[in-house]
Amino acid sequence: MRVVIADDNVLVRAGIAALLREAGLDVAGESGDVDDLLEDVEAHQPDVAIVDIRMPPTHSDEGLRAAQEIRARHPQMGIVILSQHVEAGVAMRALAESPERLGYLLKDRVGDLDEFVATLYRVAAGGSALDAVVVSRLLAARTDDGLEPLAPREREVLQLVAEGLSNRAVAERLGITLGSTEKYVSSIFAKLGLPDTGGEYRRVVAVLRFLHA
C-alpha cells in the first residue's frame, strides 16, 4: 500500500509517516501544502492520500478542496481527510454525496495504528470511513424518534456501519459471527425502512441521510 501525506505541521507529518512505515506501508511523499500534495499525487500515484483539512494559506478548508481536486483527477484514489476536530456538518459536506473511497477522521485516530491502517486499506478498496465521534453525535441527535425501534445491540451495529465498517469488520469489532452481523444489519435496515443496497459506501450514504434527515 502506497500513501502520500499532507500536513503543514512537520512533527505531525513525520509522526504519521514514521508510524505508517513501521506498519509496513510505503510512504511515498510528505508535503506541507496543497500544491506539493498534488505534485506528490501525480508523481507517486498512491493508493491513498492522507490530507490535513486545514492547510496554508488560509487554514480553513484547503484539504477538502484538495481532496475534491484529487477526486476529479483520480476517481480511483482513496482519500482520508484528517482534522483536529470533526464536525457533522463538514462530514455531510464531504461524504454525503459520495463517500466512496473517502474517509474523514480525527487526527488522533492515527495513534490507533492497527485500526487506522485497516481504515486505509478499506478506503483504498472502495469503502469509506467516518469518525466515530461524528456518528455518535448523529445517532444521539436521532435517539428520541427515528431510532426508537432499534435494540441496543442494533444501535452498536448501526454506529459501526455508519463509520464505514464492512460486515466482517463489524463482526470482528463486536466479537460476534459474520452471520449474526448480517442478521443485525438486515434487521436494522428493515426497521429504519432503508434499502440495503449492498455496497458498503452506499449503505453509509443511506444511513447518513437517514441520520441527518
Partner 1 sequence: MNRVTPRNGVWVALWVAAVVAELLALRPVLFDHEGPIVGIDVVFTLAGGSFAAFGLIAWRRRPDSRSGALMTATGFAFFASPLLSQLDGALASTVMILLVDAWIFFFVPLILTLLSRGRLRRTFDRWLVAAYALPLVVLQVTWLLFLDQDDNLLGAFPDADIAHVIDRIQRGLLVGILATTVGVIAVRWWQASAPRRRALLPSLAGALVLGLFTVLLVNDLISGTRSQVLLWITVCSLVTVPAAFLAGLLRSRLARGGLAELFRGLGGSDLQGALAKTMGDPGLVVARWQPDRGTYTDADGRSVALPANGDDRRVALVDADGRRMAALVYDASLDDDPELVEAITMATGVALENEHLQAEAQARLVELRASRERIVAAGDAERRRLERNLHDGAQQRLVAISLQLRLLQNRIGDDPSAAALVTTASDELARSLSELRELARGLHPAVLEHGLGPALDSLASRAPVPTTVSCDVGGTVPEAVELAAFFVASEALANVAKYAGASHAAVSVTRDATSVRIEIADDGIGGADDSLGSGLRGLADRVEALDGRLFVTSPPGAGTTVTAELPCGS
With CB under 8 A as the contact rule, the residue among 60, 68, 76, 186 that binds partner 1 is 60
Number of residues that bind partner 1 (CB under 8 A): 39
Contact status: 142 vs partner 1 (CB under 8 A):
yes
Instruction: Give the three cell numbers for residue 3.
Output: 500513501
Measured CA to CA, the distance from residue 79 to residue 208 in angstroms comes to 19
146: CB partners within 8 A, 6+ apart: 192, 210, 213
Contact status: 137 vs partner 1 (CB under 8 A):
yes
Instruction: Give the three cell numbers for residue 142.
Output: 436521532
Phi and psi at 95, nearest 5°, equal -110, -30
131: left (phi over 0), alpha (psi -120 to 50) or beta: beta
Site pattern 61..90 for partner 1 (x: CB under 8 A): x--x-------------------xx-xxxx
- Would you say how long the chain is, in residues? 213
Contact status: 179 vs partner 1 (CB under 8 A):
no
Smallest gap from Cβ 27 to partner 1, in A, equals: 13
In the complex with partner 1, the residue whose CB is nearer, 12 or 28, is: 12
Nearest in space to 63 (alpha carbons), one of 71, 75, 55, 72: 55
Nearest in space to 135 (alpha carbons), one of 126, 145, 147: 147
In the complex with partner 1, the residue whose CB is nearer, 33 or 196, is: 33
For the segment 107-136, give every residue that binds partner 1 (CB under 8 A): 107-108, 110-111, 113, 134
**Residues in contact with partner 1 by the rule CB under 8 A:** 8-9, 11-12, 14-16, 18-19, 22, 54, 58-61, 64, 84-85, 87-90, 92-93, 107-108, 110-111, 113, 134, 137-138, 140-145, 212
